[in-house]
Amino acid sequence: MTVNTTPSDDQLLRLLKAGDEDAFTTLYRRRQGGIYRFALQMSGSETVAEDVTQEVFMVLIREADHYDAGRGSLQAYLYGIARNQVLRRLERDRPFVQIADEAEETDIPTAERFVAQDDPLGNLLHSEMIDSVRGAILALPAHYREVVVLCDLHEMSYVEAAAALSCAVGTVRSRLHRARALLIEKLRTEKGKRKEPEADSGLLRTARCFA
């Protein structure tokens, strides 16, 4: 029988509060990747992601006592701080053009609006697909983007995501549903745009041949 000697996040936090540098290093190395990727996927900026990661752990150093284990895991707490930091930066910088959330402006039921016509990512190379998805996520409104990043990219459960976002589980589910529908629409639109230039360039090539 093997005994698991890996300290939990909460154990590391207790040691961290007591001034144990090794505990802080262990906790940082365990959680920094997820926090950095979350900030990067939310902002699209490495600079913002770096700043946010640093600030999240600075908060942990300064205010470790603020963490309440009864309200969620330490991971969710850190994501919550990261989310607030990212939103603050996005609010300040506003670098992205968001997709209009048309469902909130029209009365057309979602099921009818997002009836699939074809595969939104079909015929794309792997790298193109990744770029397209990344761009589509960044174009989402922040409150939809964060649920996609947490639930789909970071594979968090709805409960964990709800703890990180300080909202109800039902809110996470409904936002994820809407966010994915918006993503499909966006990807399909992008795919349509990609086809048009190809067709145009074909016409031009033909014209030149006749000339």
Partner 1 sequence: MNCQEFERTVFDLARETLSDATQRAHGLAHAEACESCAARLASERSLTVGLRSLATSMRETEAPQRVETALLSAFRERDKVIQFRPIASPLHRAGLGQWRWAASLAAGLALLFVALAAIRLQQPPPAQPPSVATARDSKPLKLASWPSLEDEKEPAVLTPARGQQPAFQRVSNRTRNSLSVINRGGGTIEKMPLAGTAANTAADDIATDFIPLTYGADLSSLDSGHVVRVELPRTAMARFGLPVNAERAAEPVKADVLLGDDGLAQAIRFIR
Radius of gyration (C-alpha) of the chain in whole angstroms: 22
Of 147, 150, 169, 166, residue with least CA distance to 158: 169
Q: How far is the CB of 31 from partner 1 (least distance, A)?
A: 10
Among 9, 79, 176, 190, binds partner 1 (CB under 8 A): 176
Footprint on residues 117-136 left by partner 1 (CB under 8 A) = 117-122, 126, 129-130, 132-134
Of 184, 190, 193, residue with least CA distance to 115: 184
**15 forms part of the interface with partner 1 (CB under 8 A):** no
Footprint on residues 91-110 left by partner 1 (CB under 8 A) = 110
Residue with smaller CB distance to partner 1, 90 or 179: 179
Among 154, 167, 169, 171, binds partner 1 (CB under 8 A): 154
Spatial CB neighbours of 168, under 8 Å, sequence gap ≥ 6: 162
Of 113, 103, 33, residue with least CA distance to 75: 33
**148 forms part of the interface with partner 1 (CB under 8 A):** yes
CA dist 199 and 205 (Å) reads 10
| CB distance 119 to 191 below 8 Å | no
**184 forms part of the interface with partner 1 (CB under 8 A):** yes
| CB distance 27 to 16 below 8 Å | yes
Footprint on residues 35-74 left by partner 1 (CB under 8 A) = 35-37, 40-41, 49-50, 53-54, 57-58, 61-62
CA distances from 118 to 89, 122, 152, 185, 191 (A): 36, 8, 22, 11, 10
Among 3, 4, 6, 21, binds partner 1 (CB under 8 A): 21
CA dist 118 and 40 (Å) reads 30
Among 116, 199, 203, 211, binds partner 1 (CB under 8 A): 116
Residue with smaller CB distance to partner 1, 32 or 98: 32
Q: What are phi and psi of 104, to 5 degrees?
A: -80, -15
Among 11, 25, 166, 201, binds partner 1 (CB under 8 A): 25
| Chain residues in the site for partner 1 (CB under 8 A) | 19, 21, 24-25, 28-29, 32-33, 35-37, 40-41, 49-50, 53-54, 57-58, 61-62, 110-111, 114-122, 126, 129-130, 132-134, 137, 148, 152-155, 176-177, 180, 183-184, 187
